[in-house]
């Protein structure tokens, strides 16, 4: 393969030239003259494709002046959006090249073949703003550029144009057609009802999203904001737009004489490419393209989707039950921590597991962070055992592992550990979801509410119920009079989540440290976390408030720590279900990762 001289400066001009050389080789159907790594990977419209196949066989020439380059020497990546011909017909093409040690190691081709005829003017030449350099005074940091670009996707997901920093002049093109802030007069025969493309496209970028007219887009995942061109003020990204067919109809806000719009497209996914022009921290131009006809909720060819993560967890659990990690995709530097102790692979639960998982199993999968968690029942030493397992997946390999195991004793598991509450398994409708970061805040507020003894700190739903190792510890409406009579905690167990926190019953918990909110499963509305509950043995007497006939309770447990795993079900910004497991340990432990 062709090598680049080590002394060659890899700057913006070089990366643009490299892209031009690549495109020239592509239309000549001859990759011999470009510096491809021996292990180069090409993905074309989400499918892994050998070099020499796909567009390498069908591209025939470059055409029109429509070409936009996004070159990022810092990240070693360069993007292109433009028009070429395939078998004599125009296609819109998005390309990404990744360069390492002077060689191209990764390639993306995104192809939009559904070009309008006649060719839209937007595909004849790019808008001036997309090819003009920024003035120094107009530039912002790379971090701010990435934040602004990513906020565009959040604004669509949340149907809130205020989430992204749109300039008033912001204009979006899709496939060369102006789909937001179109300043052209309406054609004489154009449909002008709200939601029709002609009227919809006349709205400003933020105004348009705030109506909810894009509410049919359920989520936008596998976001790869891969190139930041600081000189031009451009960010290029590829992502996957997923559509679950809900809600139908879509609620519409701020629309003239309309409160809803049908969503009859059903389930489908679209791969999307975007270029954002960012000046003074605001989005001015958006250039968008797409690839269609891909499977619903497909991987982009690079990412590990929710299904991919769950499959890896199932593979891991199956290997664990067989005491054989050889078939698991482990990274060379994989690290395992079991019950807060660093543990060699093949030891610990890898030696003692004898089966599972059982029917009680909950998965929390987070494709954005590459984290997947399991909470459920497995078999250890031929006894049913409660466990929580967390895997960190990087490049489809497991890099980090946590085992939290509540080792089985002589007592049988609580009957509630035989069946998962349905809500913890159900997909969450889009209108009940909240953003990823807000879910993290809500999960952390649970610990804060315990630490502060204040149930108002966390947004508990009235129906919120917590279970600990299967036992219902809050909002238990199942207790019999006999159980209540012999259980001093029964009064507290019957209370609502926030109400119970306010009594002071948890004041024996000194602190909750090592909080790791690891996986946010937006599709299921679940947040998974590990933490360590610290208990110093103080106060010796807990002050109780708001409970008739009870003003204080003894704290006789002494000093101990309790490693715990929690899963929170979050709907409409409130906590509805809490599933917790944990075990008592000596005081002063660490989490094993520090």
DSSP string of 562-585, one letter each residue: EEEEEEEEEETTEEEEEEEEE--B
Nearest CA to 214 out of 251, 172, 178, 181 is that of: 251
**What is the residue-averaged pLDDT of the chain?**
94
Instruction: Quickly state the pLDDT bin for 199 (edges 50, 70, 90).
Output: confident
Q: What digits encode the pLDDT tens for the residues 283-318?
A: 999 999 999 999 999 999 999 999 999 999 999 999
What is the mean pLDDT of the segment spanning 555-560? 95
Supply the pLDDT for residue 9: 72
pLDDT score at 564 = 98
Beta bridge partners of 570: 575
Query: Which residues, in sequence order, are CB contacts of 137 under 8 Å at separation 6+?
Result: none
CB 296 within 8 A of CB 268: yes
In the CATH scheme, what architecture does the domain 306-412 have?
Roll (3.10)
Rounded to whole angstroms, how far apart are CA atoms 271 and 45? 7
Q: pLDDT > 70: what percent of the chain?
A: 95
Indicate if the pLDDT at residue 351 is higher than 90.
yes
Cβ neighbourhood burial of 14 (10 Å; 0-12, 13-18, 19+): middle
Query: In percent, how much of the chain has pLDDT > 90?
Result: 89
Q: Per residue in 27-82, pLDDT tens? A: 999 999 899 999 999 999 999 999 999 999 999 999 889 999 999 999 999 999 99
Q: Which pLDDT value is given to residue 4? A: 41
At 5 the pLDDT is 43
- CA torsion 267-93-42-40 (nearest 10°) is -150
Q: Do domains 12-294 and 306-412 have the same CATH topology?
A: yes
Residue 186 banded pLDDT, cuts 50, 70, 90: confident
pLDDT tens digits, 159-177: 999 999 999 999 999 999 9
Q: Which two tokens stand for residue 318?
A: 């199956």
Q: What does the domain layout of the chain look like in residue ranges?
A: 12-294, 306-412, 422-582
How far is it, in rounded angstroms, from Cα 78 to Cα 23?
12
Question: What pLDDT is stored for residue 485 in this prediction?
Answer: 65
At 481, is the pLDDT very low, low, confident or very high (cuts 50, 70, 90)? confident
Which residues face 82 on adjacent strands?
67, 93
Q: At 396, is the pLDDT very low, low, confident or very high (cuts 50, 70, 90)? A: very high
User: Does residue 551 have a pLDDT over 90?
Assistant: yes
What pLDDT is stored for residue 402 in this prediction?
A: 98
Give the Cα separation of 261 and 254 in Å (integer). Answer: 13
Confidence check: pLDDT of 458 > 60 = yes
**E strands, 129-281, where?**
166-174, 177-180, 219-229, 234-244, 250-251, 260-261, 267-279
Name the CATH code of domain 12-294 (choices 3.10.450.50, 3.40.50.2300, 3.30.420.40, 3.20.20.70).
3.10.450.50
Is it the case that residue 319 has pLDDT exceeding 80? yes
DSSP state of 203: S
Which pLDDT score is estimated for 195?
Answer: 52
Q: How far is residue 311's CA from residue 363's CA, in Å, rounded to a whole number?
A: 10
Residue matched to tokens 């119970």 = 500
Q: Provide the pLDDT for residue 8.
A: 56
CATH number listed for the domain at residues 422-582: 3.10.450.50
Cβ burial of 229 (10 Å; 0-12, 13-18, 19+) is buried
């Amino acid at each position: 393969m062709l090598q680049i001289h080590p002394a060659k400066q890899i700057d913006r001009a070089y990366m643009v030239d490299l892209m031009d050389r690549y495109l020239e080789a592509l239309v000549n159907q001859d990759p011999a003259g470009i510096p491809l790594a021996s292990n180069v990977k090409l993905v074309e419209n989400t499918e892994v494709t050998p070099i020499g196949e796909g567009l390498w066989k069908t591209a025939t020439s470059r055409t029109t002046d429509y070409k936009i380059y996004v070159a990022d020497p810092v990240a070693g990546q360069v993007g292109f959006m433009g028009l070429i011909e395939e078998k004599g017909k125009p296609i819109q093409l998005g390309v990404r090249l990744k360069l390492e040690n002077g060689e191209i190691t990764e390639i993306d081709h995104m192809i939009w073949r559904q070009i309008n005829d006649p060719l839209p003017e937007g595909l004849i030449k790019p808008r001036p703003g997309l090819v003009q350099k920024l003035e120094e005074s107009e530039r912002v940091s790379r971090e701010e550029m990435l934040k602004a670009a990513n906020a565009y996707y959040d604004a669509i997901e949340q149907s809130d144009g205020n989430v992204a920093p749109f300039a008033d002049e912001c204009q979006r093109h899709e496939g060369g057609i102006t789909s937001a802030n179109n300043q052209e007069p309406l054609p004489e025969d154009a449909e002008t009802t709200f939601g029709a493309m002609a009227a919809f496209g006349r709205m400003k970028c933020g105004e348009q999203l705030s109506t909810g007219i894009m509410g049919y887009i359920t989520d936008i995942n596998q976001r790869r904001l891969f190139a930041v061109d600081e000189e031009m003020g451009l960010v290029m990204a590829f992502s996957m737009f997923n559509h679950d067919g809900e809600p139908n109809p879509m609620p519409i806000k701020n629309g003239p004489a309309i409160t809803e719009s049908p969503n009859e497209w059903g389930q489908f996914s679209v791969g999307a490419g975007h270029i954002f022009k960012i000046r003074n921290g605001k989005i001015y131009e958006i250039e968008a393209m797409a690839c269609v006809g891909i499977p619903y909720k497909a991987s982009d060819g690079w990412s590990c989707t929710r299904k991919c993560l769950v499959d890896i967890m199932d593979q891991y659990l199956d290997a664990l039950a067989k005491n054989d990690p050889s078939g698991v995709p482990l990274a060379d530097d994989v690290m395992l921590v079991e019950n807060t102790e660093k543990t060699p692979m093949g030891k610990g639960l890898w030696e003692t597991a004898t089966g599972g998982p059982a029917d009680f199993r909950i998965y929390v999968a987070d494709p954005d962070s590459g984290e997947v968690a399991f909470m459920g029942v497995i078999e250890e030493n031929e006894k049913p055992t409660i466990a929580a397992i967390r895997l960190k997946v990087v490049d489809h390999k497991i890099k980090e592992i946590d085992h939290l195991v509540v080792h089985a004793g002589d007592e049988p598991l609580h009957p509630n550990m035989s069946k998962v509450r349905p809500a913890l398994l159900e997909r969450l409708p889009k209108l009940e979801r909240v953003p990823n970061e807000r879910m993290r805040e809500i999960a952390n507020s649970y610990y804060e509410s315990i630490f502060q003894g204040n149930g108002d700190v966390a947004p508990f739903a009235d129906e919120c119920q917590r279970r600990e190792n299967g036992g219902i510890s809050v909002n238990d409406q199942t207790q019999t009079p006999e159980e209540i009579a012999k259980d001093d905690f029964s009064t507290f167990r019957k209370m609502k989540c926030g109400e119970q926190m306010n009594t002071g019953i948890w004041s024996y918990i000194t602190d909750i440290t090592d909080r790791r909110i690891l996986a946010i499963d937006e599709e299921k509305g679940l947040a998974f976390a590990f933490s360590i509950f610290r208990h110093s043995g103080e106060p010796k007497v807990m002050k109780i408030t708001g409970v008739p006939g009870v003003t204080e309770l003894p704290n006789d447990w002494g000093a101990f720590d309790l490693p715990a795993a929690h899963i929170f079900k979050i709907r409409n910004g409130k906590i509805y279900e809490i599933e917790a497991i944990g075990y008592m340990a000596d005081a002063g432990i660490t989490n094993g990762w520090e």
